[in-house]
Amino acid sequence: MAFINKAAREINCKIVYYGPGLCGKTTNLQYIFERATPESKGKMISLATETDRTLFFDFLPLSLGEVGGMKTRFHLYTVPGQVFYDASRKLILKGADAVIFVADSQEARHDANIESLDNLRTNMQETGLDPDATPFILQYNKRDLPDVESVDDLNAALNPRGVPSIEAVARTGVGVFETLKLTAKVLMTDLRKKMGSPT
């Protein structure tokens, strides 16, 4: 649910990074945090376990310039990927304006990707988000590792809707900003449509 503040001329949106455990959601946010200019970013918050696994969420506020005289602010969240944190995932997903699904490209994680994507669909429905209409982007992460599935195979398994997909190596930043930029664009276009603009 975007928050449009006409008094302050600001558009605030929420983007959620979803995906199986250890797929690179937090790594995406860390890279954005490291590379974004100091003026555009706020503090990154990670609620993690002692072993650095996400416990509740990571949060990074980011300003991305203006559209039509309105400042845009994006709140980026990650969910905890581990299966048993499902209740927390649902809470974080609530009110998302766009979802990025980070898939782990390794063959060994094929089933984990599918399970997480099914879980996303269920949780979207339960939190009042339409899984077929909410802005949705796929990121195929860890493309630098051996034994990765081809993009065609990943698309066949994870992308029946044919949404945009981006190859990435989040650890080195490949595809990280591309994913975010594309998501922001799809989100803003969707928001404009929802707000009933004539164009």
Partner 1 sequence: MVNPQMVMYEEEFNQIQAVVDRLVREANAKVVFIVDKNGQLIAASGEVDNIDTTSLASLTAGNIAATGGIAKLLRENEFATQFHEGENANIHIQLVGNRVILVVIFDSKSSLGLVRLRVRKASEELSRIFEALLSKVQEPGGDSPFAEITDEDIDNLFND
Q: Does 5 bind partner 1 (CB under 8 A)?
A: yes
Restricting to residues 135-194, which ones interact with partner 1 according to CB under 8 A?
Answer: 181, 184-185, 188-189, 191-192, 194
How many binding residues for partner 1 (CB under 8 A)? 47
- Shortest reach from residue 26's CB to partner 1, in Å: 15
Q: If residue 92 lies in a helix (H) or strand (E), which one and from where to where?
A: helix 86-93
Burial 20-51 (b: 16+ CB within 10 A, else e): bbbbbbbbbbbbbbeebeeeebeebebeeeee
Restricting to residues 50-79, which ones interact with partner 1 according to CB under 8 A?
Answer: 56-57, 59, 61, 64-65, 67-70, 72, 75
Of 91, 145, 151, 163, the residue at the interface with partner 1 (CB under 8 A) is: 91
Residue at 90: amino acid letter: K
- Shortest reach from residue 158's CB to partner 1, in Å: 25
Give the contacts of 45 (CB within 8 A, at least 6 positions apart).
57, 58, 59, 60
Total residue length of the chain: 199
- Shortest reach from residue 83's CB to partner 1, in Å: 17
Estimate to the nearest angstrom the gap between the alpha carbon of 82 and the chain centroid: 16
Residue at 187: amino acid letter: L
Task: Tell me the C-alpha distance between 155 and 149, whole Å.
Answer: 10
Which residues contact partner 1 by CB under 8 A? 1-8, 11-12, 14, 42-43, 45, 47, 56-57, 59, 61, 64-65, 67-70, 72, 75, 87-88, 90-92, 94-95, 181, 184-185, 188-189, 191-192, 194-199
